[in-house]
């Protein structure tokens, strides 16, 4: 084999490798943040300061949600998240406080986040005294932007706790968040 044919053979092999490499890069799908249906369940804890009693008064309410597991996610690394917010309302054990329209930022364990603007709230009292609160809105930024968000909380009956002079400082229930595309 002549020196010229050896160089051409190496040159052709290098060119073929370069074309394969460039072809792989050019044909690779673009990298975007995953989006898709999301469902996470967890617990919600409400804290009242001062304690909630049968007498209406201005109360600072802290809502803390801890999500996990997330059985349906657009990213297998996403297994949970959290959100916390505070607001002040006149409340008692004999009145239902509806959350005003608001935004919540959900930092997920995989480093992503979602911002949800909740605009609608529906409250239903079950026969056993539990309250089911359903909030609906839209994911305005982050993971699953433009998806419909539904947050459902089920809090246990609490009227007996409120009958005590100390009132109720905390209440914990179940919470589920779902993001669904249009």
128-158 residue pLDDT tens: 888 899 999 999 999 999 999 999 999 988 7
Mark whether 7 and 62 lie in a shared domain: no
Mark whether 19 and 51 lie in a shared domain: no
Asked whether the whole model's pTM tops 0.85, one would answer no
Q: How far lies 96's CA from each of 40, 84, 88, 105, 113, in Å?
A: 25, 20, 14, 24, 30
- C-alpha 177/C-alpha 179 separation (Å) is 7
Mark whether 23 and 106 lie in a shared domain: no
Mark whether 23 and 44 lie in a shared domain: no
Domain that holds residue 116: 38-180
Mark whether 90 and 15 lie in a shared domain: no
172: helix, coil or strand? strand
Q: How far lies 88's CA from each of 11, 83, 105, in Å?
A: 74, 17, 19
Mark whether 96 and 45 lie in a shared domain: yes
Mark whether 170 and 85 lie in a shared domain: yes
Q: What is the pLDDT of residues 18-33, one digit of tens each?
A: 333 333 333 333 333 4
In the prediction, which pLDDT does 4 show?
46
Mark whether 127 and 78 lie in a shared domain: yes
């Amino acid at each position: 084999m002549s020196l010229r044919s050896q160089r051409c053979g190496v040159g052709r092999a290098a060119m073929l490798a370069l074309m394969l490499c460039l072809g792989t890069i050019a044909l690779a799908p673009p990298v975007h943040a995953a989006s898709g249906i999301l469902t996470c369940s967890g617990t919600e804890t409400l804290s009242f300061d001062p304690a909630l009693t049968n007498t209406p008064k201005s109360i600072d309410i802290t809502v803390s949600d801890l999500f996990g597991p997330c059985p349906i996610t657009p990213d297998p690394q996403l297994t949970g998240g959290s959100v916390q917010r505070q607001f002040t309302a006149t409340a008692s054990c004999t009145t239902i406080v509806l959350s005003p329209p608001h935004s919540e930022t959900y930092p997920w364990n995989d480093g992503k986040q979602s911002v949800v603007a909740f605009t609608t709230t529906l409250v239903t009292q079950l026969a056993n005294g539990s309250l089911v609160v359903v909030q609906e809105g839209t994911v305005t930024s982050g993971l699953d932007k433009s998806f419909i968000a539904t947050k459902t909380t089920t809090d246990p009956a609490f009227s007996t706790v409120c009958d005590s002079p100390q009132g109720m400082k905390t209440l914990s229930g179940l919470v589920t968040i779902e993001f669904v595309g249009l």
